């Protein structure tokens, strides 16, 4: 099976200080991989590094390959923005309609006809398990949706881009149990059909949703283990 993402000796640095890593892992096409590790080890920061969204002042060192090509990010990497897509921990929903929110990424990153975009969004909403709840109110404000629905809307927005890999940062951590279950069902439905990297604090959730696990540790722990 081919790798979608390959990371080798990835470090995140603030000046000369290593905040995260080194981390080495590969994400196989069609897999759901859990990214685990203690609080502060750098799970969220690794996801952000993979999509070139590191906070100001942090930088990446080491190798990152996406679909077999070394990635540096910079000018001319526009297509990569829809190749690996991050769904943040807190759903980013803005004050337009449900449809506008679902179309947002497509409108900005993909050239397609209106009908094609509409079809892709419908398919993505179905895949995210939200279609039946919103199909009769696509023009209603997205801010009327519940927290779990908002998270699934963000999932749909990303799925509509048909990314090679989807990065989910603690998608259920801010949700009550019922909403958590609906989001989990959506992530479970992607298994084997999409390539997913899922950050989760919850070993039971990782066991439920993931085929394989990558564990990252604090830099001091990595250094100790290396002797």
Ligand X SMILES: Nc1ncnc2c1ncn2[C@@H]1O[C@H](COP(=O)(O)OP(=O)(O)OP(=O)(O)O)[C@@H](O)[C@H]1O
Please give the residue ranges that form the binding site for ligand X (CB under 6 A).
Answer: 14, 19-20, 37, 39-45, 55, 57-58
37 vs 148, beta carbon nearer ligand X: 37
Q: CB of residue 58 vs ligand X: minimum separation in angstroms? A: 6
SS3 assignment, position 26: strand
- H/E stretch holding 154: helix 147-159
Query: Cβ 87 to ligand X, closest distance in Å?
Result: 14
Residue (20 or 64) nearer to ligand X, CB:
20
- Rounded CA separation 168/131 (Å): 20
- The residues with which 86 forms a beta bridge, in sequence order, are 167
Whole-angstrom CA distances from 10 to 47, 50, 148, 215, 216 are 11, 10, 33, 13, 11
For the CB of residue 203, give the shortest distance to ligand X in the complex, in Å.
13
User: In this complex, which beta carbon is closest to ligand X, that of residue 123 or of residue 173?
Assistant: 173
- Closest to ligand X by CB, 19 vs 110, is 19
Name the residue with tokens 């830099």: 219
Smallest gap from residue 111 Cβ to ligand X (A)? 34
**Dihedral pair phi/psi, residue 3, rounded to 5°:** -85, 140
């Amino acid at each position: 099976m081919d790798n979608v993402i390959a990371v080798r000796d990835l470090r995140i640095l603030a000046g000369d200080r290593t905040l995260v890593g080194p981390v080495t892992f590969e994400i196989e096409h069609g897999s759901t991989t859990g990214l685990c590790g203690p609080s502060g080890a750098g799970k969220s920061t690794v996801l952000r590094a993979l999509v070139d969204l590191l906070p100001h002042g942090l930088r990446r060192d080491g190798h990152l390959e996406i679909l077999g090509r070394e990635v540096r990010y910079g000018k001319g990497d526009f297509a990569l923005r829809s190749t690996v897509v991050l769904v943040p921990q807190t759903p980013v929903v803005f004050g337009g309609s449900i449809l506008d929110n679902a179309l947002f990424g497509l409108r900005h990153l993909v050239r397609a006809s209106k009908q094609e975009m509409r079809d892709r969004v419908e398919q993505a909403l179905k895949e995210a398990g939200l279609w039946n709840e919103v199909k009769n109110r696509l023009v209603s404000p997205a801010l009327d949706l519940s927290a779990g629905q908002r998270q699934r809307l963000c999932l749909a927005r990303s799925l509509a881009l048909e990314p090679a890999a989807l990065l989910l940062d603690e998608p259920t951590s801010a949700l009550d149990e019922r909403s958590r279950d609906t989001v989990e069902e959506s992530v479970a439905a992607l298994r084997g059909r999409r390539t997913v990297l899922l950050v989760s604090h919850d070993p039971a959730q990782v066991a439920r949703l993931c085929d394989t696990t990558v564990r990252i540790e604090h830099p001091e722990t990595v250094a100790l283990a290396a002797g």
